[in-house]
Structure 1
Amino acid sequence: MTRLFDPESSFSISESIDNYLDEKSATGQLSRSSIRNRRYELNRFERFCKSHKILFPVDIHKNIVVHYLKSLKISKSSKLNVIYVLMGYMDYLVDEGLIIENIASLIGKPKIYPPKTDYLTYSELEILFRSVANHSGKKTVDRNLLMMSLFTDICLRVSEVVQLKQDDVRLDAEELWITRKRHKVDKIPLNQDLINKFLRWYDIRPEYKGSESEWVFLSSHGRPLKPRQVHYIVSSALEKAGILKRKHGPHLLRHSGASLKAQQGENLIVIQYLLGHENLNTTRRYLHFNWEDLKAMVERSPALGK
């Protein structure tokens, strides 16, 4: 094949994917879960290219990318995510002199209209917490109530909760040290209710196997809790409380906590900090209103021109 562009290196697509992800991992630009997800998507793209006898980045063309996207039997939102993954990879290829331009950025993006996001009201949260208190076992009730409160009160991600170490909990200073994405560390203040829940959990925690572990949250087998286990705990609690929403995991609680704070008129910049968002536009997705609030606002409008 005659090429109009002679790349600076002769890495195969497979090798360039490894180099790209190694760089992102080494510099801390992507979390381990993001690395894993991108590797899956890019390896799938590499296999598709290989099936069409395309082995080197320089030979990737727009039609093969379009053909690949067409072959994926996934939703529009998932397809959009794949495009963004390819764009990130091809940015790297351009920087390394392996291709001339980012071909994925030339692909038209599907229009996504996100559905209205569910969130829990204060009364629903009360029902949920009472249900957890009534239906959890003696050894798990304080652990589960603390986890739920970390999602709703200070809006932590599930990854941030399961990665909490005992040294991160500074009860004397009334604060938590949270490791965010890209290994950024933020300090979050604790209120008295959260401090009390930590103390109650710490009272029962020595009865767990592996209680000498550095991790705050342990499973009934004494191992650090995993995100899927936390998702199961929250989902089961919502089901037992009779609360049915489109989403039903820890993120629903995090979203609910942020949404209710916004409804109370709390500073959006402060909510952004709690959520660990780098972009305020991401935080704006947590803003909701109900019909009665809208009616009340219109009623408060002054009568002009009388």
Structure 2
Amino acid sequence: LTGGQGGRGGRGGTKPHRLPPVLDHAEIDQLRTEAKRFETIAGYRDAALVDFLLATGLRAHEAASFRLDALNGYLSGRLRVIGKGNKERLVRFPPPAAESLELWLTARRRLPSPADTLFLTDQGKPLSAAFMYLVIRRLIERTTIHKPQVGPHLLRHTAASLWLAQGMDLRQVQANMGHRSMVVTSRYLHLLE
């Protein structure tokens, strides 16, 4: 035992705080390339999903319930989101490139589905948050990326780091993420250059 810390890795038995895992720029490119590899309905959806999550930083359940009628907000970089605790927040981000979304929307129109959510399965059913996790995990597993977290939340962390690296104000990132505390948001500072 060293330093009188009792071997717990912190003071007084408090749980150590870890920095959130994020993708670096090369890993983002690698994931996007992998997502665009297959020119299938699922391939177009996956590419659009990766770009959507990296642009918006939404939680998986928020992305799963994202409706087609909110696309103009997405394309303009401004979304109203009902998030955790049924709280509404305004998410602002640089307007995304629309190429992957346009390919997905073209493919999506071929699916017989009454669903009004943006992301669907190959069978035309709304994509659940759990299925979204599987999609992102499988994409990451097909790359050489190794992170302790491999689902949509990794892309959420990465979005916050990208915004800060691009010069977005810390308060806006806090609002985008729906964090109560600036301390939580500040963990994303300097994770990406």
* Same fold, TM-score > 0.5, yes or no: yes
User: Number of matched residues?
Assistant: 181
Q: Which residue of 1 aligns with 2:132?
A: 230
Q: How many angstroms does 1:276 deviate by?
A: 2.0
Aligned 8 A contact 1:169 1:177 in 2: no
For residue 217 of structure 1, what is the amino acid of its counterpart? F
Partners of 1:197 and 1:177 lie apart in 2 by: 22
Report 1:39-78 matches (<5 A).
Answer: none
Residue 121 (structure 2) aligns with: 219
Deviation digits for residues 191-242 of structure 1 (CA, Å, limit 9, x no counterpart): 150x4433322211121232x2121111112111111111111111111111
1:204 aligns with 2:84: no
Whether 1:191 and 2:100 are equivalent positions in the alignment is no
In structure 2, the residue matched to 1:112 is 15
1:165 has 2:67 as partner: yes
Q: Would the aligned equivalents of 2:134 and 2:151 in 1 still touch at CA under 8 Å?
A: yes
TM-score by length of 2: 0.81
Name the structure 2 match of 1:270.
172
1:181 aligns with 2:88: no
CA distance in 2, matches of 1:236, 1:276: 27
Larger Rg: 1
Structure 1 residue matching 2:36: 3-state secondary structure: helix
Q: TM-score, normalised by structure 1?
A: 0.53
2:105 aligned counterpart, secondary structure? helix
Gaps of 5+ in 2: 1-7
Instruction: Report the AA paired with residue 191 of structure 1.
Output: P
- Does residue 128 in structure 1 map to residue 31 in structure 2? yes
1:125 alignment partner AA: I
RMSD between aligned alpha carbons?
2.6
Kindly indicate whether residue 148 of structure 2 is the aligned counterpart of residue 246 of structure 1: yes
In the alignment, the residues of structure 2 paired with residue 152 and residue 241 of structure 1 have an alpha-carbon distance, to the nearest angstrom, of 17
Unaligned runs of 5+ in 1: 1-75, 77-108, 294-306
Q: CA deviation at 1:140?
A: 1.7
SS of equivalent to 1:153? helix
Greater relative contact order structure (CA < 8 Å, 6+ sep): 2
Q: Which residue of 2 aligns with 1:258?
A: 160
Q: Percent identity?
A: 23
Contact 2:22 2:191 in 1 (8 A): no
> For the structure 1 residues 232 and 262, does the alpha-carbon distance in structure 2 shift closer, same or farther, using more than 3 Å as the test?
same
